[in-house]
Amino acid sequence: MNGQEAGQRIVFEDVSKFYGEVLGVNRVNLSIPAGITSLVGPNGSGKTTLMNLMTGLVRPTRGRITVLGISPDEPERLFQKVGYCTQFDSFPKGLTGYQFLYSYLRVSGRPHLAADRLAGQAIEQVNLVEAAHRRIAGYSKGMRQRIKLAQALCHQPSALVLDEPLNGLDPLIRAETIALFRTLAQEGLHVIISSHVLHEVDAVSDQVVLLSNGYVVAEGQIHGVREEIHEQPMQILIRCNKPGDLASQVFQQDCVVEARIHPDGQGLLVKTRDAGRFYLLLNRIAQGGINIESVAPADDDVLSVYEYLIGTEEPTK
Amino acid sequence: MAVHKRSYHAYAGDLTPRWSRFLVVSRYACQNALSSKNLVAYFALCFVYPLGCALALYANHNPRLLALFNTSSFFDPGAKLFFHFLRIQGTLGFVLTAFVGPGLVSPDLANNALPLYLCRPFSKAEYVMGKIFVLLALLSLITWVPGETLFLIQCSLAGASWLATNFWMISSIFLGSAVEILVFSLLALALSAWIKRRRAAGAALLGVFFFGAGFGQAINAVLRTTNGSLIDLAKLIARVEDQLFRQHTSVGISAADAWVALVAISAFCLLLLQKKVKAYEVVRG
């Protein structure tokens, strides 16, 4: 990777972190581009350690990290570019939402007028205008989560690191927040999210990093990760008018491991070890009189990949 | 493959100088501390004695009053006056520290708020500086600031010859106050960092002084030594002030030993702060 590329990515090179004898993360090599990247893994897998490492709050025991070309050893430069929202409900006592953002903008070195303007903008972004001058202590869980998000993005960072940012949000605000992440990512921000809610990770992420016991188990776009898992046959759901006929035809092929008629009787779930060959076969079958409505991978999502790679320690589905 | 437009622009405006950012923390900490009416009342009370001293100095140089009482002076406005002034204001300052100090770091730790500060261009040292500055400012206002003001009043009333004789006291007033302020502040902050409950931290601060004094006395009595005073903070500070104001001392340890002990206690407090003020906590077991 050349210097210019590294300057636009968050890069971990052989990074390990041990808290005494406790393993945080081990031998992590990552290169995270702009867009939404989700860190997924069970409790204690190293998600928060990875986030603390990229925000410079903990130093690696071994290895090297650069965030958009800046080393965490340069906090003055790093923290102008990085916004961090921790998983803790942590607020200094007695502040209103506006004061909370304003004070941290001042700590970040923004002059009074800029801090006032940026605090207002961030409050608007997270839809808290009406509650801005109320004390945070009186906020609901969802409002606290949103003001935390606002403090992470109020200083206009280039990388947002968000630990469990969707916890406690009601469905409407959750959808708005995901839309905000999408907008920010489309504008070229690095949005790093850790989450236990796999279907949301699936919906929101451009790429995922799967962690287990401090190790990176897989990384990349979820489709690519799924393709690399050769030991698990691909599952394909075919919606058609004659699933029974289709089942009898596909069973004759050696690339098909299993075929099951969908419980609603309107489709067939096929497991195959060679998806390419199977799709070619399906083209031939379609010409033979079976009306195929749709063909879609059934285990090409974070949940399936998570189950294949990490197994039983499931986070929330 | 996601397509990113890269239309986002990071903040590119001016930044405030780095050295001044700790004052943001001080400002909010001070605002929080002074939100208590009891504390404001107590703080106001701390100015009663300096005001009384100023009036006494004025009276001591007022020919009509002196003539009325048929005396040349009511008291000697020398080192002893300023020495006692500092002892009294120091005691008031200690109580003020017990009010304010425990509430400085413990709420942030209890709320896990430290990552919020430390994921800014803001170091641990600046955080501690921001918090301690509240105590430094409040304690300064009731110790060396009125002390030096009284000294100036006395100079203006007594004339240049008095100033020439007592010029050395300027540094004594400042240094004596600085020792009190630093030791009280560091101790309060360290206890605030280690004890998450504000009231418990306040009680611990009082405990350190009184338990230290009692334990030191017990060591002195049982072992027939004077080294027990090395863990008695009040005596250590008193011994240093005795030396600074050239007073006869009743504390049985040398000034050098007292200085070393105070430096060691301050360093230990800094170590405690260094251990506790961090952005994350490792929970084992």
Task: Render pLDDT for A8-33 as a digit per residue (tens, 0 to 9).
Answer: 889 999 999 988 778 888 899 999 99
pLDDT, average across residues B29-55: 92
All residues of chain B having their beta carbon less than 8 Å from the beta carbon of residue A87 are none
B285 touching A (Cβ < 8 Å): no
Average pLDDT, chain B: 87
Q: Is the pLDDT of residue A146 over 50?
A: yes
For residue A167, the number of C-alpha atoms closer than 13 Å in the C-beta half-sphere is 16
All residues of chain B having their beta carbon less than 8 Å from the beta carbon of residue A92 are 28, 107-108, 111, 113, 116
Average pLDDT, chain A: 83
CA A191 from chain centre, in angstroms, equals: 8
Q: Specify if B241 maps to a domain.
A: yes
Question: Of A17, A93, A161, which to mutate for an interface test with B (greatest number of B Cβ within 10 Å)?
Answer: A93
- Is B24 close to A107, i.e. CB distance below 8 A? yes
Q: Are residues A166 and A131 in the same domain?
A: yes
pLDDT, average across residues B259-280: 90
Q: Are residues A245 and A197 in the same domain?
A: no
Q: Please report the residues numbered 121 through 140 in chain B whose beta carbons come closer than 8 angstroms to any beta carbon of chain A.
A: 121-123
All residues of chain B having their beta carbon less than 8 Å from the beta carbon of residue A55 are 119
Which of B3, B8, B14 shows the shortest C-beta gap to A111? Answer: B14
Q: Specify if B3 maps to a domain.
A: no
- Is B28 close to A103, i.e. CB distance below 8 A? yes
| Cα dihedral across residues A147, A149, A153, A157: positive or negative | positive
Helix (H), strand (E) counts: chain A? 12, 13
Q: Specify if B57 maps to a domain.
A: yes
Q: Specify if A176 maps to a domain.
A: yes
Query: Do A64 and A72 contact (CB within 8 A), yes or no?
Result: no
Q: Are residues A142 and A278 in the same domain?
A: no
Structural element, H or E, at residue A53: helix A47-54
Q: Specify if A303 maps to a domain.
A: no
How many Å from the N-terminal Cα to the C-terminal Cα in chain A? 36
- Is B8 close to A75, i.e. CB distance below 8 A? no
Residue listed under structure tokens 């920010």: A184
pLDDT of residue A229: 66
By C-alpha distance, which of B116, B121, B2, B117 is closest to A189?
A: B2
**Helix, strand, or coil here: A45?**
coil
pLDDT, average across residues A81-109: 87
A188 to chain B, closest Cα gap in Å: 4
The chain B residue lying nearest A205, using CA atoms, is B2
Q: Specify if A92 maps to a domain.
A: yes
pLDDT of residue B250: 80
A90 touching B (Cβ < 8 Å): yes
Residue listed under structure tokens 């996601």: B2
Residues 6+ apart with CB under 8 A from B246: B79
All residues of chain B having their beta carbon less than 8 Å from the beta carbon of residue A90 are 111-116
The chain B residue lying nearest A19, using CA atoms, is B282
The chain A residue lying nearest B278, using CA atoms, is A57
Q: Are residues A155 and A291 in the same domain?
A: no
pLDDT, average across residues A48-75: 89
> Angle of helix B169-194 relative to helix B102-110, nearest 10 degrees?
30
| Residue A204 one-letter amino acid | V
The chain A residue lying nearest B127, using CA atoms, is A107
pLDDT of residue B285: 43
Which of B1, B32, B120 shows the shortest C-beta gap to A79? Answer: B120
Residues 6+ apart with CB under 8 A from B260: none
All residues of chain A having their beta carbon less than 8 Å from the beta carbon of residue B120 are 79, 104, 107-108
More confident site: B182 or A296? B182
Question: Of B5, B6, B11, B36, which to mutate for an interface test with A (greatest number of A Cβ within 10 Å)?
Answer: B11
pLDDT, average across residues B26-45: 90
- Is B115 close to A57, i.e. CB distance below 8 A? yes
pLDDT, average across residues A204-212: 86
Q: Specify if B215 maps to a domain.
A: yes
- Is A118 close to B2, i.e. CB distance below 8 A? no
B197 touching A (Cβ < 8 Å): no
More confident site: B73 or B141? B141
Q: Are residues A76 and A179 in the same domain?
A: yes
A58 touching B (Cβ < 8 Å): yes
- Is B120 close to A104, i.e. CB distance below 8 A? yes
Q: Specify if B84 maps to a domain.
A: yes
Q: Are residues A159 and A252 in the same domain?
A: no
All residues of chain B having their beta carbon less than 8 Å from the beta carbon of residue A206 are 2
Q: Is the pLDDT of residue A314 over 60?
A: no
Q: Specify if B245 maps to a domain.
A: yes
More confident site: A293 or A2? A293
Q: Is the pLDDT of residue A1 over 60?
A: no
Q: Is the pLDDT of residue B2 over 70?
A: no
Q: Which structural domain range is residue B142 located in?
A: 21-276
Q: Specify if A317 maps to a domain.
A: no
Q: Is the pLDDT of residue B206 over 60?
A: yes
Q: For the segment B57-106, what is each residue's pLDDT rounded down to a tens digit? A: 999 988 888 888 888 888 888 889 999 999 999 999 999 999 898 888 88
Beta bridge partners of A50: none
Q: Is the pLDDT of residue A316 over 60?
A: no
Whole-angstrom Cα distance, residue A215 to residue A47?
Answer: 10
Q: Which structural domain range is residue A266 located in?
A: 233-298
More confident site: A182 or A276? A182
Whole-angstrom Cα distance, residue A306 to residue B67?
Answer: 96
Whole-angstrom Cα distance, residue A175 to residue A200?
Answer: 10
Q: Which range among A154-158, A242-246, B44-48, B159-163 shows the weakest confidence by mean pLDDT?
A: A242-246
Domains contained in chain A, number: 2
Q: Are residues A52 and A111 in the same domain?
A: yes
Q: Are residues A245 and A136 in the same domain?
A: no
CA–CA distance from A134 to each of A26, A129, A150, B20, B265 (Å)?
43, 10, 15, 28, 42
Q: Is the pLDDT of residue A167 over 90?
A: no
**ipTM score:** 0.75
Query: Do A67 and A82 contact (CB within 8 A), yes or no?
Result: yes
A157 touching B (Cβ < 8 Å): yes
Q: Are residues A162 and A289 in the same domain?
A: no
**DSSP type of residue A136:** G
- Is B120 close to A107, i.e. CB distance below 8 A? yes
Q: Specify if A308 maps to a domain.
A: no
Q: Specify if A307 maps to a domain.
A: no
The CATH number of residue A290's host domain is: 3.30.70.920
Instruction: Please report, rounded to a whole number, the percentage of residues in chain A having pLDDT higher than 90.
Output: 24
Q: Are residues A188 and A268 in the same domain?
A: no
- Is A151 close to B2, i.e. CB distance below 8 A? no
- Determine the Cα angle at B6 with ends B1 and B9, to 5°: 150
B18 touching A (Cβ < 8 Å): yes
Q: Are residues A143 and A267 in the same domain?
A: no
A185 to chain B, closest Cα gap in Å: 7
* pLDDT category of residue B4 using cuts at 50, 70 and 90: low
Q: Specify if A309 maps to a domain.
A: no
Domains contained in chain B, number: 1
Whole-angstrom Cα distance, residue B195 to residue B107?
Answer: 10
All residues of chain A having their beta carbon less than 8 Å from the beta carbon of residue B124 are none
Query: Do A14 and A6 contact (CB within 8 A), yes or no?
Result: no
| pTM (global) more than 0.90 | no
pLDDT of residue B88: 94
The CATH number of residue A38's host domain is: 3.40.50.300
pLDDT, average across residues B169-174: 94
The chain A residue lying nearest B22, using CA atoms, is A107
More confident site: A206 or A113? A113
pLDDT of residue A164: 86
Whole-angstrom Cα distance, residue A146 to residue A169?
Answer: 8
All residues of chain A having their beta carbon less than 8 Å from the beta carbon of residue B284 are 20, 22
- Is B282 close to A110, i.e. CB distance below 8 A? no
Q: Is the pLDDT of residue B252 over 50?
A: yes
- Is B15 close to A185, i.e. CB distance below 8 A? no
Q: Specify if A316 maps to a domain.
A: no
**DSSP type of residue A216:** E
Q: Are residues A130 and A207 in the same domain?
A: yes
pLDDT of residue A317: 47
Torsion angles phi and psi, residue B2, rounded to 5: -75, 145
pLDDT of residue B5: 56
- Is A86 close to B112, i.e. CB distance below 8 A? yes
